[in-house]
Amino acid sequence: MSAAEAAARDQASSTCATLEITRERGQRQVFCGLAGIVWLHRKIQDAFFLIVGSRTCAHLMQSAAGVMIFAEPRFATAILQERDLAGMADCNQELDRVAAEVLERRPDIKTLFLVGSCPSEVIKLDLGKAAERLSEVYRERVRVIDYSASGLETTFTQGEDVCLKSLVPQMPQLPSGERSLLVVGTLPDVVEDQFARLFKDLGIGPVHFLPPRHATEFPPVGDGTSVLLAQPFVGETLRALVERGATLLKAPYPFGIEGTLAWLRAAADAWGVSSETLDAVTAPAIARAETALARQRQLLAGKRISFLPDSQLEIPMARFLRRECGMELVEVATPFLDRQLMEAELPLLPEGLRLVEGQDVEHQLDRAREDRPDITVCGLGLANPLEAEGLRTKWSIELVFTPVHGFDQAADLAELFARPLVRGSLLKV
């Protein structure tokens, strides 16, 4: 955790209105930040992610990605052997060789990410210098950028945050006197296109997205940049953008009808768009979403749900499920509670909620067993054991892989939580 990140998190008070925040520190059960490559390599279409790690790292990525036999993904692992770990071999020479093979095989690659892992961090392999060296070798052909997704430093979705932060120095300067909207956080292309159309219809622009679909199309940033966060786990990226002059537009996250409308309203207010125009532009999408969401609400209303900390999506998801689907929140736990990123979300949570920051996995599992919620949202490593004990679960990783932002995805988001209930009812028959 960086000093800036720690300082921002320490700003979170022990209470928010009548919300008491319990902080737990103990054993955690989470993926490392390498998992972020699974969705990042699909989004940035001309980038390649070269993990400098062990066979365990390679197996994790293959398992998490579910790579199809006919697909050639844009990520790989430069495997550190025993000689590398023992200091008996020159890791930089081997890294140069692997990078050359990748770029020869994939001439379409414009950006090569060197991704640090636990093994490379332990042996103090300086990927920053390696990136500088390779950038000189392949100047004007490919940009080489490094970042660490080591489990020693990052968890699960933080891998995206450190990756996007590494892109900020590469972004061109927005000319003085110009303004733009920057949407930060990986979105599926279909969702990005939907938002782009809504912003265009509202007369808001130019609009850029980070990460871009192509690494050669870095959006500009400067004093005229207004930032909307699409994901609640990009705090370090936000702070790097603010250092370059950008301003955050405070809003809930665009999950569900309420969150998406408030998110769009933040941009509309900044651009001086009237409420009447916002209502007229969004009315058709809201009508579709309300109709589609009604069926899922019937399945979810009154059901009890607990969130174990994993993705940092827990708070906005809990807000959506309670306010738009009528679910009862038993416990909402999140790995980190960044007050700056959650300022617009926390007031929308119910009074008396058991809100937990951090994890002591054994204690949280004990509470889940005692509470017996209808659904427990958790990581892959905890889901099967809880299912074996008769508790229905939802994998939190699905909330990152699946298109769930925006009006047209509101019902799909609710359906992700309804499926365990439907499955459980079928198993009882």
- Annotated binding site for [4Fe-4S] cluster: which residue ranges? 32, 57, 118
Query: Which two structure tokens, joined as six digits, stand for 287?
Result: 């009508």
Most distant CA atoms of the chain, gap in Å: 69
Residue matched to tokens 């899922």: 296
Q: Are 6 and 336 in contact (CB under 8 A)?
A: no
> How far apart, in whole angstroms, are the C-alpha atoms of residue 144 and residue 128?
10
> How far apart, in whole angstroms, are the C-alpha atoms of residue 395 and residue 311?
10
Q: Are 195 and 183 in contact (CB under 8 A)?
A: yes
Q: Which amino acid is at 308?
A: L
- Please enumerate in sequence order all residues whose Cβ is within 8 A of that of 248, keeping only pairs 6 or more positions apart, or say none: 226, 227, 229, 238, 242, 340
Rg (CA), the chain: 22
Query: Which two structure tokens, joined as six digits, stand for 359?
Result: 């994890």
Residue matched to tokens 């679910």: 327
- Cα atoms in the Cβ-side hemisphere of radius 13 Å centred on 87: 3
Residue matched to tokens 């692997």: 98
**Closest C-alpha to 162, from 254, 255, 237, 227:** 237
Give the burial class of 127: count Cβ atoms within 10 A of its Cβ; 0-12 exposed, 13-18 middle, 19 or more buried: buried
Give the burial class of 276: count Cβ atoms within 10 A of its Cβ; 0-12 exposed, 13-18 middle, 19 or more buried: exposed
**Closest C-alpha to 85, from 121, 49, 56, 112:** 121
Cα dihedral sign for 241, 244, 250, 251?
A: negative
Instruction: Please calculate the CA angle 426-427-428 and round it to the nearest 5 degrees.
Output: 90
Q: Are 79 and 103 in contact (CB under 8 A)?
A: no
> How far apart, in whole angstroms, are the C-alpha atoms of residue 316 and residue 297?
17
Q: Which residues are annotated as a binding site?
A: 32, 57, 118
Output the CA–CA distances (angstroms, integers) from residue 124 to 3, 116, 167, 363, in the order listed: 20, 10, 23, 35
E strand or H helix at 333, and its extent? strand 328-334
